[in-house]
Chain A
């Protein structure tokens, strides 16, 4: 038996707290999944393993949010996007940049991490986010 945790959302965010962006990969068809889960949506196999994603990815699409729910209001305007990793999996993310106007589809981004927020309410996790490559 492997010592790795089950492919749960809790385990995904525990890895984020260790500054690791992880995905689940189907042992049979190698489909890579974020969010992680037990059943492969591609081939229905139930054996999956954890893989650490490369730190860089490509911006596939984005938007700049001006009207946000109360918990994000203090950040407006902010960018969110979908980033395609070299493993082929796409992940949704906040894109942190001081120059919102410089965002472009196809640009390279790299992952970074921030600690669990101090806010109350359930549930709360640490955050991964993407930023422009240095």
Chain B
């Protein structure tokens, strides 16, 4: 039934994002889980949580696979089954969907979903190489393409087709850093000026250092329950009323259009339909700003503005903290940081705070409906979730 709760978020937690020297992924995950558990005293994690779905992208950082049982048990959720979900940067958005499906199937009443990535123990060229593994090896990586490179290819096409400017992309960075400066858990709690963004060194033209999200360590956790059970654990819960996930061609060059991410459009349409809402009903959104151009294309794909108008939309101020539709109040991947596997449920954590009135200095007044947009790779995976405050 449209608009009906699918599953309910009874709590969420985030580790501090940043360069977390001396800490392993499992330890970061436990930090996020304990933050989530501290909000629901009536929950006995070891007894009540029946399964865990954990997003994590790469074994290469810590020479460690089979991560989910390690991380789940470090958080004290043991011996419940634990599964790793890997969809590159959409790993924990996808893990959340698995959690929703597990609840909806009736198999479990309460599950833990989350994500983690420990990245800063590797030097930047190695991280660039590890991230590139989420693109096609024989055709993209072999041809010298990097992740910033793939999004830069979309940026160049968007500039050519619609006249989008480097200043408009920079405006996304300026906005998200401003929001991030208000988030005590953000990696880079620092404002940046338009000039600093435009003058930062080129990573993959037209994208510069400040157009790129951060290499960050961090973890996020969300506790889901059957909607009917939520009240038993908390008065401050948020319903998930829409979920959508879709695929696009794995390689960027195979897409008809290089200025839109079709999977995001499809995922959004499915989620809107399920939630029985329109884009204009969204009050606060977390978008996958892995690169500034991705937020601009995201506005268009989610129907917040018309195709090609994303650059003008950011300029209008609509998505600023005091705008009509604040986007990335957390600081986004840009300023909060992008520990790849943690990102999807970190977005959900921010929406949980917003919709339960716990977002402090970055609180959006009267936020009732939130949307999260999580991309994997160059958009071969896109996940959209719609949340509603209780």
Spell out A's residues near B (CB within 8 Å).
Answer: 9, 13, 33-35, 41, 60-73, 75, 77-78, 80-82, 90-94, 105, 123, 125, 127, 129
Q: How far is the CB of B204 from chain A (nearest CB, A)?
A: 5
Known: A61-B156, A62-B153, A92-B145. A82 touches B258 (CB 8 A): yes
**Which listed residue, B139, B141, B153, B205, touches A66 by the CB 8 Å rule?**
B205
Task: Report the separation of the CA atoms of residues A91 and B139 in the bound assembly, to the nearest whole angstrom.
Answer: 8
CB distance A61 to B157 under 8 Å? yes
Known: A34-B139, A63-B149. A78 touches B144 (CB 8 A): yes
CB distance B253 to A92 under 8 Å? yes
Q: How far is the CB of A123 from chain B (nearest CB, A)?
A: 8
Task: Report the separation of the CA atoms of residues A60 and B206 in the bound assembly, to the nearest whole angstrom.
Answer: 15
Contact-residue size bin, chain B (C-beta under 8 Å from the other chain): 35 or more
| Beyond known contacts A63-B207, A69-B132: 5 more, CB 8 A cutoff | A34-B254, A35-B251, A70-B125, A77-B205, A82-B153
Task: Report the separation of the CA atoms of residues A64 and B146 in the bound assembly, to the nearest whole angstrom.
Answer: 11
For residue B156, which residues in chain A have a CB less than 8 angstroms away from its CB?
61-63, 105
CB distance A72 to B144 under 8 Å? yes
Q: Is B309 an interface residue (CB 8 A)?
A: no
CB distance B252 to A82 under 8 Å? yes
Task: Report the separation of the CA atoms of residues A129 and B139 in the bound assembly, to the nearest whole angstrom.
Answer: 11
CB distance A94 to B143 under 8 Å? yes
| Contact flags B156-187 to A (C-beta < 8 A → 1, else 0) | 11001000000000000000000000000000
For residue A82, which residues in chain B have a CB less than 8 angstroms away from its CB?
153, 252-253, 258
CB distance A92 to B140 under 8 Å? yes
CB distance B160 to A63 under 8 Å? no
CB distance B129 to A64 under 8 Å? no
For residue B390, which residues in chain A have a CB less than 8 angstroms away from its CB?
none
Main secondary structure, interface of B, reads: helix
**Which listed residue, A35, A41, A65, A125, touches B149 by the CB 8 Å rule?**
A65
| Contact flags B122-142 to A (C-beta < 8 A → 1, else 0) | 001110110010001011111
Known: A35-B138, A62-B156. A68 touches B254 (CB 8 A): no
| 22 contacting pairs across A/B (C-beta < 8 A) | A34-B139, A61-B156, A61-B157, A63-B152, A65-B145, A65-B148, A66-B205, A68-B128, A69-B132, A70-B125, A70-B126, A72-B144, A75-B144, A77-B205, A80-B145, A92-B143, A92-B251, A92-B253, A94-B144, A105-B160, A127-B142, A127-B143
Known: A35-B138, A61-B153, A63-B153. A69 touches B125 (CB 8 A): yes
Task: Report the separation of the CA atoms of residues A67 and B209 in the bound assembly, to the nearest whole angstrom.
Answer: 10
Known: A35-B251, A68-B144, A69-B128. A80 touches B157 (CB 8 A): no
| Contact flags B313-353 to A (C-beta < 8 A → 1, else 0) | 00000000000000000000000000000000000000000
Chain A residue at minimum C-beta to C-beta distance from B156: A61
Task: Report the separation of the CA atoms of residues A49 and B155 in the bound assembly, to the nearest whole angstrom.
Answer: 34
CB distance B142 to A67 under 8 Å? no
CB distance A65 to B253 under 8 Å? no
Q: Is B202 an interface residue (CB 8 A)?
A: yes
- Going nearest first, the 9 A-B pairs with the smallest beta carbon separation are A69-B129, A63-B152, A64-B205, A61-B157, A90-B253, A92-B253, A82-B253, A61-B156, A67-B203
For residue B249, which residues in chain A have a CB less than 8 angstroms away from its CB?
41
Chain B residue at minimum C-beta to C-beta distance from A63: B152
